[in-house]
Amino acid sequence: MLGYRYRPRLPGGELAPMPWPVSLYRTLNHIAWPLEANSSGWIVFLDRLFIFLGFLVFCEHNEVDFHYLVANRRDMDNLLTGMPTYLILVEMQIRCYQLAWHKDRFRLLLERFYAEIYVRQEAEPHLFAGIQSQMLPTRLNSTVYLLALFNFFVVPVTNVIYHRREMLYKQVYPFDNTQLRYFVPLLGLNFWVGFVITSMLFGELNVLGELMIHLNARYVQLGQDLRRSARGLLERRTTEQVASSYRRALTHILRRNAALRDFVQRMEEEFSLRIFVMFAFSAGLLCALFFKAFTNPWGNVAYIVWFLAKFMELLALGMLGSILLKTTDELGMMYYTADWEQIVHQSENAGENVKLMRLLTLAIELNSRPFFITGLNYFRVSLTAVLKIIQGAFSYFTFLNSMR
């Protein structure tokens, strides 16, 4: 089935370079990653069948994880031991299967991204280098999530050493799951769920980051091209049709601006619900993870790694959102400071000057508000929103710690 999963291509038809976290996401997560557009009906049927079976596995894990919480509801320490994995499970079940329901829409968004937005290294080496440096936090976060994933392999080793039969997560089954005929397949399902969840956590962050930062680079290009157009016309030292030439260049820039705005709206439609779910669960998840890491740091190394991974994920996403927010917030000023006054001063055509001024006024008005990604319009994805979540998580932790 891996060969039938969508592989992004550039406008010339060649395969697009994919960052290693996105490649891992594509490889490990058959639920979220779309198929090729020309996949046969049989492949689509098998893909949907595996998605349905995976949904049943998630529901089974949801059930036994919740039973553990119910069984330990009077013991705060044990309750908070199972709480992080349960919260992550529920969050990922919502996000992953919402994406699975809209796989084709996600593929179309990626196709448009690589056709219109993606900045190629050979075409813009300096801009591409800046993009890679801005994406370093998401790459580092992916590495930390992989370290958290490797913690799963410690459990089978300790099971062999200490002759135990423990699952990867805190779960209570309605039957004796320690019998070998049940234990082995259930442990295998634990691993499968862990790989799907972890790949979704770092994979979608990197996909969203790539879209946001390349989009940000295209906005930066708008300003560069606008200033370059004015500079080129002014260097010619001619008064004939200078205003009309600049107006044509500005019209072209505005059309590109409108296309970028439309792409932002498509991104918002695709990611808004999943971002809302992510942020909604984050405060409680950070609180539970930090509580376990704080109360017994040497015995809960896995919780420390998961806390660092989640904390870095939120900071990375907030940073990327703030970069895009800042760039688009300056679009109106970009048009205002694009040397149009020098063009008007040099032009001798009063009628063209008036048309140019009207077009500039329209451009500034259209870009008076920044573009941003939101969580169902409840909040903007920015460092400000992330800091509020962290503040809320710390407040919850202080309350729980006072009850010990």
CA distance linking residue 173 with residue 179, whole number of Å: 12
Identify whether the C-beta of residue 313 lies closer than 8 Å to the C-beta of residue 333: no
SS3 164: coil
Q: What's the sign of the alpha-carbon dihedral 159, 161, 164, 170?
A: negative
Instruction: Specify the pLDDT at position 1.
Output: 60
Instruction: Specify the pLDDT at position 230.
Output: 81
Identify whether the C-beta of residue 355 lies closer than 8 Å to the C-beta of residue 173: no
CA distance linking residue 191 with residue 167, whole number of Å: 10
Q: What is the DSSP letter of 379?
A: S
Q: Which residue has the tokens 């939120």?
A: 314
CA distance linking residue 148 with residue 102, whole number of Å: 29
Instruction: Specify the pLDDT at position 29.
Output: 93
Bridge-partner residues for 374, per DSSP?
380
CA distance linking residue 154 with residue 301, whole number of Å: 12
CA dihedral angle for residue 373, residue 375, residue 381, residue 387, rounded to 10 degrees: 170
Identify whether the C-beta of residue 274 lies closer than 8 Å to the C-beta of residue 98: yes
CA distance linking residue 263 with residue 342, whole number of Å: 33
Tell me the C-alpha to C-alpha distance, in Å, between residue 271 and each of 29, 114, 205: 17, 18, 11
Tell me the C-alpha to C-alpha distance, in Å, between residue 138 and each of 126, 135, 238, 318, 384: 20, 6, 49, 11, 18
CA distance linking residue 19 with residue 152, whole number of Å: 24
CA distance linking residue 221 with residue 32, whole number of Å: 32
Identify whether the C-beta of residue 249 lies closer than 8 Å to the C-beta of residue 227: no
Instruction: Specify the pLDDT at position 3.
Output: 67
Q: Which residue has the tokens 């069948």?
A: 49
CA distance linking residue 40 with residue 106, whole number of Å: 19
CA distance linking residue 187 with residue 61, whole number of Å: 11
Identify whether the C-beta of residue 355 lies closer than 8 Å to the C-beta of residue 246: no
In order along its 404 residues, the chain shows pLDDT tens digits of 666 899 999 998 899 999 999 999 999 999 999 999 988 999 999 999 999 999 999 999 999 999 999 999 888 888 888 999 999 999 999 999 999 999 999 999 999 999 999 999 898 999 999 999 999 999 999 999 998 888 888 888 888 888 889 999 999 999 999 999 999 999 999 999 999 999 999 999 999 999 999 999 999 998 888 888 888 877 776 666 888 888 888 899 999 999 999 999 999 999 999 999 999 999 899 998 888 888 777 667 888 889 999 999 999 999 999 999 898 888 888 888 888 888 888 887 888 888 888 888 888 888 888 887 888 888 889 999 999 999 998 888 888 777 76
Instruction: Specify the pLDDT at position 333.
Output: 86
Tell me the C-alpha to C-alpha distance, in Å, between residue 84 and each of 203, 260, 348: 20, 38, 69
Tell me the C-alpha to C-alpha distance, in Å, between residue 72 and each of 69, 80, 164, 172: 5, 9, 21, 10
Count Cβ atoms within 10 A of the Cβ of residue 240 and give its class: 0-12 exposed, 13-18 middle, 19 or more buried.
Answer: exposed
Identify whether the C-beta of residue 394 lies closer than 8 Å to the C-beta of residue 401: no
CA distance linking residue 61 with residue 170, whole number of Å: 10
Structure tokens at 70: 């119910």
Instruction: Specify the pLDDT at position 279.
Output: 92
CA distance linking residue 51 with residue 155, whole number of Å: 27
SS3 330: coil
Q: Which amino acid is at 229?
A: S
